[in-house]
Structure 1
Amino acid sequence: MIEEVQPGTRPGSAEETNVQDERRLDPRASVLVVEDEHELRELIARWLETRSYRVVEAADGHDAVELLQAGLEPDVILLDLTMPRMDGRAFLDWLRSQPEHRHRPVIVASAYLEDEPPLDAERTFSKPFRPDLLERELARLVAGD
């Protein structure tokens, strides 16, 4: 992979690291948070916003499908599994069947991963999860790594 170095920086320098951090925390990077527990969804959304992510919230898979069909193009989807109307597994199946959305990275965060782990997600976290690990994974996925 060719590493892009901004003008005026040296490879491996503090300046280059800052440029990489700024790129990773690009305020245009967006996360779709699909979580039925309102308080938890709000908490995650506000936390992500303090880390310069744009956040869109959906209360379940059905709402997430409507948002995507209306033109939303999130960089990453953070998905709960157990939700009313359309659960996370059904949403993930729908997402991967759609040519315009199948490439979207998905992080599953659920208290029920042991029951039947999803196979088509980039990463899974058991609830409760460590925010620093989520932040690292989001940054990696947004950067395209």
Structure 2
Amino acid sequence: MSATCVQLGTVLVVEDDFDVREGLSDALQDLGVAVTAVRHGWEALGMLTAGLTPSIVLVDLLMPVMDGADFLARLRTNPDWDTLPVVIMTASGQPLPPGADALLRKPFDMGELLALLARHVR
């Protein structure tokens, strides 16, 4: 476990694909990172409203119920969350939505993800 991982705090993973969500959560937890994982943006907003205070959010761009762009737009309207770092994950060629801090193209490796997390956690 690296010092960088310990300093990350909780990562909120928002991903509709079960295998991707669980695989990413397990890999981060294996590195000592606390993870809360949900299936879509609506669940993520519910977790934040209930008091979850992640250090960063990893959110899939294309999801049912509430996609990453809609989640991000709603997130940025709340002053409690407007500076929360958000990384958009996608396999699509779509550009980075307004308000996002970084774009992570799928598939990615853990080294790339950890470097990105370390750069964006405030």
- Out of 25-34 and 92-101, give the one that drifted further: 25-34
Residue among 13, 33, 36 paired with 2:13: 33
Which residue is equivalent to 1:124? 103
Equivalent position SS for 1:25: helix
Q: Please list the CA deviations of residues 29-52 of structure 1 after superposition, one character each: whole Å capped at 9, or x if unmatched.
A: 110000000111000000001111
d(CA) in 1 for partners of 2:103, 2:26? 21
What is the one-letter code of the residue matched to 1:91?
F
* Structure 2: runs of 5+ lacking an equivalent: none
Regions of 4+ moved over 4 Å? none
Q: 1:137 to 1:115 in 2, by over 3 A?
A: closer
Structural RMSD (CA): 1.5
- Pair 1:54-2:54 in alignment: no
* Structure 1: runs of 5+ lacking an equivalent: 1-20
Asked if the contact 2:8–2:117 (Cα under 8 Å) also holds between the matched residues in 1, the reply is no
Count, aligned residues: 121
d(CA) in 1 for partners of 2:82, 2:95? 21
Larger radius of gyration: 1
TM-score by length of 2: 0.92
Residue among 47, 55, 59 paired with 1:67: 47
Q: Please list the CA deviations of residues 36-69 of structure 1 after superposition, one character each: whole Å capped at 9, or x if unmatched.
A: 0011100000000111110000100010010000
Equivalent position SS for 2:26: helix
Q: 1:115 to 1:26 in 2, by over 3 A?
A: closer
Identical columns (%): 36
- Pair 1:92-2:72 in alignment: yes
TM superposition shift of 1:27: 6.3
What is the one-letter code of the residue matched to 1:77?
V
